[in-house]
Amino acid sequence: MLHMWLKIKGHLDVPVGPNKWLALFACAGFILLSSMFLLVYSYDTYSYYRIKDNRLKINASEYLNPGIAKHAQYDAVLIGSSVVQNFDMDLVNSVLGSKTIKLTVRGMTDDQRADVLSLVNRERKPKKIIYGFDLFSFDPSNAQNEASFPRYLYNESWFDDFRYIYGYENWFRFMPASILYEIGSEFGAIPKGLSVSVDCVGQLDAEYSKAVVQERYAAHSSDKAQALSPGLRRGGGFAGEC
Percent of the chain at pLDDT > 70 equals: 78
- Give residue 5's pLDDT: 47
How far, in Å, CA of 83 to CA of 191, rounded?
A: 28
Residue among 67, 72, 45, 66 nearest 172 (CA): 45
* pLDDT tier, 229 (very low <50, low <70, confident <90, very high otherwise): very low
pLDDT for 237: 33
Q: What is the pLDDT of residue 230?
A: 44
pLDDT higher than 60, residue 10: no
Is the CA virtual torsion 204, 114, 45, 124 positive or negative?
positive
Burial of 123 (0-12, 13-18, 19+ CB in 10 A): middle
H/E element, 100: strand 100-104
65 burial (CB, 10 Å; 0-12 / 13-18 / 19+) is: buried
For the ranges 33-42, 123-132, 172-181, 215-224, the lowest mean pLDDT is seen at 215-224
Selection from 45, 25, 26 nearest residue 166 by Cα: 45
Helix, strand, coil percent values for the chain (each to nearest 5): 55, 10, 35
* Segment 189-208, tens digit of pLDDT: 666 667 888 888 887 766 66
pLDDT at res. 242: 32
Q: pLDDT for 11-57, tens place per residue?
A: 555 566 777 888 888 899 999 999 999 999 999 999 999 998 888 88
Give the mean pLDDT of the chain.
Answer: 80
Radius of gyration of the CA atoms of the chain, in A: 27
CA dist 121 → 65, 124, 157, 162 (Å): 13, 6, 16, 24
Average pLDDT of 80-98?
88
pLDDT at 131 over 50: yes
**Quick check: 89 pLDDT over 50?**
yes
Residue 13 makes CB contacts below 8 A (sequence gap 6+) with: none
User: What is d(CA 133, CA 140) in angstroms, rounded to the nearest whole number?
Assistant: 15
Distance (Å, rounded) from C-alpha 130 to C-alpha 97? 13
CA distances from 162 to 111, 118, 215 (A): 23, 21, 50
What pLDDT does 241 receive? 36
